[in-house]
Amino acid sequence: MIDVAVLPGFTLVVILILLTPGPDMAFMVASGVEGGHPGALRAALGITAAVSVYVLLTALGLGAALVAAPMLLDWVRALGAAYLAWLGVGTWRESMRVRQRDELPSSASGRYFTRGFVVNITNPQILLFFAALLPQFVTTGHGPFALQILTLGLLVQLTGFLLDVGFGFAAGTFRDRILKNEQAQIRLLRTAAIAYLCLSIAITADLASP
């Protein structure tokens, strides 16, 4: 069990960090724009599933080992950048087929969950975040280290999931209101495509910087 005295400070730090514009926020907005509320929810669940992996690695003490292997982390991030670029190109192509269908692509499949999972599992900066932050709020005399890390990680996941759903639903609401407008559909899909491509470019530029 964690020390409840650390919860207010921990929660405040987590919320401030999660509210800072970043890849997850941009990805969720793009998912909401493209897939509406169902797509946003599935994307948020995929993100949360990927975050669970990093929380578990941190709790098991493997996070520090991976942090010590920057080359491996760079390769993982490069895969993530390539995947985002692939999403961007694919979404742009979808925008070119809007006139051949009556509505935006269905979000009934699990593709948005898969996207959320892959985009986050290939973002090892999440692991760096957990490895640096979570141990700072572990206190002696309040149970095993791993259990405290898991509990803190669960709180981060819950907070992040709620914020992700909020961002995605806001974008999805905007999308649903103009769904019948063909030109608007095209613009929304291309906005999502540009968001994915910009994320890919940002990651690639960061990898290329000394």
What pLDDT score was predicted for residue 200? 84
What pLDDT score was predicted for residue 27? 86
Global pTM reads 0.78
Q: Is the distance from CB of 134 to CB of 58 less than 8 angstroms?
A: yes
What pLDDT score was predicted for residue 187? 79
What pLDDT score was predicted for residue 199? 81
**31-45 as b/e: b if 16+ CB within 10 A:** bbbbbbbbbbbbbbb
Model pLDDT for residues 103-161, shown as the tens digit of each residue: 555 554 568 899 889 888 888 778 778 877 887 888 777 778 788 888 888 898 999 99
Q: Is the distance from CB of 161 to CB of 44 less than 8 angstroms?
A: yes
